[in-house]
Amino acid sequence: MAHLNSEQVKKRLADGNQRFVDGIALHHKFHPHRHKDIQDQAPFAIVLGCSDSRVPIETIFDQSFGDLFIIRIAGNIVAPSQMGSVEFAISKFKVSLIVVLGHSNCGAISATIDECISKTHLSGSLHSITNRIKPSILPLISLNLPNHKLMNKAVEVNIINSVKQLQDQSPIIKEAIENNKLKVVGANYSLKSGVVQFLT
């Protein structure tokens, strides 16, 4: 496949999501025997997404084996291992687009809101996730938003903050962006409609 620039990659993902929403997906069946000869991978995009089982990333973008380099973690946060995985993929595959993919009704966001408001007790391991989401939540608490609006806004702010972390905290990503070889964008998946909305 010829190298795609960031806008071409974004369009390919958006077109795939539209096929998924319209019920005309090209990759709705996966046949392992058709892919047994794949030795090398050449993904055209990196997706940092949430671990939520309701968000099958290849499916919602209507992509197949080897198309996407996917990193999944609850709350689509940026921790050192996620950053390292992104840097590896950039260096190895020269992709031009990173998508931070969040989604509606995210359990990690909900847990963080509960922790901030109700002071719920969480395990130390779960704290390692919620502590990275809290900077997105805490400024919103004082706005006294209704629960559903707080949740929706928190999901969006968390996506945008993860985008900024990728842009600002990695010399490898920074250099690629400065050389116009890479873009980092945020996107929000609706569990209800199946639509992926690009935020940035």
Query: 77, 123 in Cβ contact below 8 A?
Result: no
Cβ contact 104:188 at 8 Å: yes
The whole model's pTM is what?
Answer: 0.93
Q: What distance in Å separates the CA atoms of residue 56 and residue 75, rounded to the nearest whole number? A: 15
Could you give the CA distance from residue 100 to residue 165 in angstroms, rounded to a whole number? 11
> What residues form DSSP beta bridges with 69?
46
Kindly give the pairing relationship between strand 97-103 and strand 183-189: parallel
User: Residue 175 has what pLDDT?
Assistant: 95
User: What ranges make up the beta strands (E) of the chain?
Assistant: 45-49, 68-72, 97-103, 183-189, 196-198
Domain locations in the chain as residue ranges = 6-23+40-198
pLDDT tens over the chain, length 200 residues: 568 899 999 999 999 999 999 999 998 776 665 655 566 788 999 999 999 999 999 999 999 888 999 999 999 999 999 999 999 999 999 999 999 999 999 999 999 999 989 887 778 788 899 999 999 999 999 899 999 999 999 999 999 999 999 999 999 999 999 999 999 999 999 999 999 999 97
Residue for token pair 């006294």: 144
Q: In the structure encoding, which two tokens stand for residue 7, read together?
A: 């806008």
| Alpha carbon distance 43, 59 (integer Å) | 15
Q: What is the DSSP string of 152-164?
A: HHHHHHHHHHHHH
**Nearest-5° angle of CA 13, CA 19, CA 21?**
100
**Distance between CA atoms of 20 and 24, rounded to whole angstroms?**
6
Q: 10 Å Cβ neighbour count for 42?
A: 14
- pLDDT of the residue at 53: 97
Which CATH code is given to the segment(s) 6-23+40-198? Answer: 3.40.1050.10
CB 100 within 8 A of CB 163: yes
Q: What's the pLDDT at 32? A: 65
